[in-house]
Amino acid sequence: MTDQLVELNVTGMHCNNCAISVHRLLEKKGLQNILVDFAGEEVKFSTTDETVIPQIIKDIEGLGFHVVDDVATHREKFYQKIENKFIFCAILTAPLLLHMVLPWHLLHHPYIQLALCLPVFIVGCLHFGKSAISSIRGGVPNMDVLIFIGSSAAFIYSLAGTIQNLGEQYQFYETCATIITLVLLGNLFEKRSVTQTTSAVKDLVKYQQVDARRIINGQVEIINAGEVKSGDILLVNTGDKIPVDGDILEGNASVDESMLTGESVPVEKQKYDSVIGGTILQSGNIRIIATKVGSNSVLAQIIDLMKKAQAAKPPIQKLGDKVAGIFVPTVILISLITFVLTYFAFGGTLQNSLMHAIAVLVISCPCAMGLATPTAVMVGLGRAAKNGVLIKGGDTIEAVANTKYIVFDKTGTLTTGTFALRDIRAQGSASIETIRGIVTAIEERSNHPIARSLVQQLKGQPQQKTILKAVSEEKGLGMRAEDVEGNHYFLGAAKTGTDIAYNLALYKNQQLIAEIAIQDDVKPGAANLIASLKKMGVVTVLLSGDKQSRCDTVAQTLGITAIHAEKLPDEKLSIIDVYKQKGKTIMIGDGVNDAPALTKADVGVSVNDASHIAIQSARVILLNTDLNSLLFFLQISKHTLVTIKQNLFWAFAYNIVAIPLAALGFMSPMLGAFIMAFSDVVVIGNSLRLKVKNVRS
């Protein structure tokens, strides 16, 4: 049986500790390829037995979470909303706090206080208690355990004092209610803050939610973009969002592709050009044929890529996860020790001992540690995506730290990849029209920049059409083909020793029939990029399959001293391996022949218009043609990693300082609850600074 990928929408997970609970539950069930994203409210796993899915859903809901059909359309019931729970509890908690400052006798009556506190305590039990008990059963106690124990201890202690009429010193109803109310407030802030950290994906999803004008029998009908099928003919007018990926059948247009590339300058499109769903038609009217719809579209793949990236953990997060996993039992133990020492060793009263122990429970915050890394990663990846840099995983951010070498492919990476056809020199009896036809027929089957440039420039020139029945691409060598008459062709790099101006050669049945001269220009900004990298202490390397003379020319223009020319894909692998042994290495390329090297490097980066294989092999995709996007990638990665470290420092430091202060009696449970409620917000707020922070430094 084959593995089936199961995707569930799960609400109610508010931090990484919740995600760990679900992850461990699924591990115990023996499931594979588990991915839990608390911020995106998604749980994915693979199984060979579909019959276990209903039970798994039941077990997840048993942990206190909710499995829904669609998070976007799911509407919580009135009493389930965190906002309404907080308002309800705040209204009842306010009089309990007022009795401490107002001389109203009625508010001091124990049964009045019990009546005000009991509804708040019930809300707390339903909100925190169910989650706490379920997390203990699942073997991963969460923060709700601490809140539930602390508020319950205060309530039960006060209830016992009220029943036995022991006096005001036994009345801590305001402590119980305030703990619950303030933690609900913290959860409310946390929910809204986490929503902001995932805004990049949600913004991209909005681009999918548009209408389309489908043309059927000359009539136009309005449908949802999700209903478009491959092959449908669509009309797109000025100001419309292009609903799906497609090719232009008629018309010209200026298209704003900034949502995809971060480039604000519109791109001019004409007949046969491709357009991407979600981009905006600024001017013009076009008819397109839908080519990629649903999950196959570029936008859908980017959204899926970002979701996976946000869920991928950097190695630095493992420390936080390990500590969060043992944090709750440790805090409970510290709380018990605090009570025992305060009451028995130091002769404290029962009330003081209990309050110190409760303060330890409520001031502790494993959520801050759980949120430290994923929130920073989400904001960092989101900002990168909005600037045309797709990063496959939070672990990539840490992988580029302290990069020593950046290895560049030449063609299409440091050079424009738009090759100017200078001349075709026929050899033998073949006519120039026949040669053009053969070259066009072969290169139409390739995605290499040289091939695309040749096809574009030969289009419209007189040529004799050649019909091919088989074409194959050999990495780093060229293209082989066979026509319907059985002739064999090879089009690739010219042999060493021939005229360097003619850098391509066409062979028919192993006989040279043409030499082709093409020229590639250095990309604008490439020299500034290399200079900037040198200032950062990075060693730049040129690694290409092209001729030594052309590589030397490009390297000299840009100021690169380390050059490896005329290298086949397997040789590129060996060279990357050598640099990796010396230090952390990034490889940047765009072609099929770069794919192995991109995979081999510590981090592979594919540039705009890269081949599909290169994109699959790389961990970073630069959608913007501007090479400065590479600098932005390095800078946003650096600042994201700095933010993660700041968050972890704050989370650890907060608990290291706060727990002893609470144990020694310097903080009341109410003050502890107030501080704890905002510790998560501080961590998330620091992460949100990445949205506006100047990272170009």
Distance CA 228, CA 278 (A): 14
Crossing angle (nearest 10°) for helices 315-340 and 143-163: 20
Question: DSSP of 122-148, one letter per residue?
Answer: HHHIIIIIHHHHHHHHTT---HHHHHH
> Is residue 409 flagged as an active site residue?
yes
Main-chain phi, psi angles of 68, to 5 degrees: -125, 165
Distance CA 470, CA 454 (A): 20
Hey, what amino acid is at 75?
Answer: R
Distance CA 73, CA 61 (A): 19
* Cβ burial, residue 635 (10 Å; 0-12/13-18/19+): middle
Question: DSSP of 173-240, one letter per residue?
Answer: HHHHHHHHHHHHHHHHHHHHHHHHHTHHHHHHHHHHS-EEEEEETTEEEEEEGGG--TT-EEEE-TTP
Q: Do the beta carbons of residue 228 and residue 212 sit within 8 Å?
A: yes
Q: Which is nearest to 89 in space by CA: 186, 154, 13, 163?
A: 186
SS3 category, 675: helix
- Which residue of the set 409, 546, 602, 680 is catalytic? 409
Q: Do the beta carbons of residue 22 and residue 36 sit within 8 Å?
A: yes
* Exposure letters 555-578 (e unless 16+ CB within 10 A, then b): beebebeebbbebebeebbebbee
Q: Do the beta carbons of residue 595 and residue 614 sit within 8 Å?
A: yes
Query: How many CB atoms are closer than 10 A to CB 89?
Result: 25
Name the token pair of 517.
Answer: 């001269």
Distance CA 292, CA 340 (A): 67
Ramachandran quadrant class, 250 (left: phi over 0; alpha: psi -120 to 50; beta: rest):
beta
Name the token pair of 583.
Answer: 């230090």
Q: List, by residue number, the catalytic residues.
A: 409
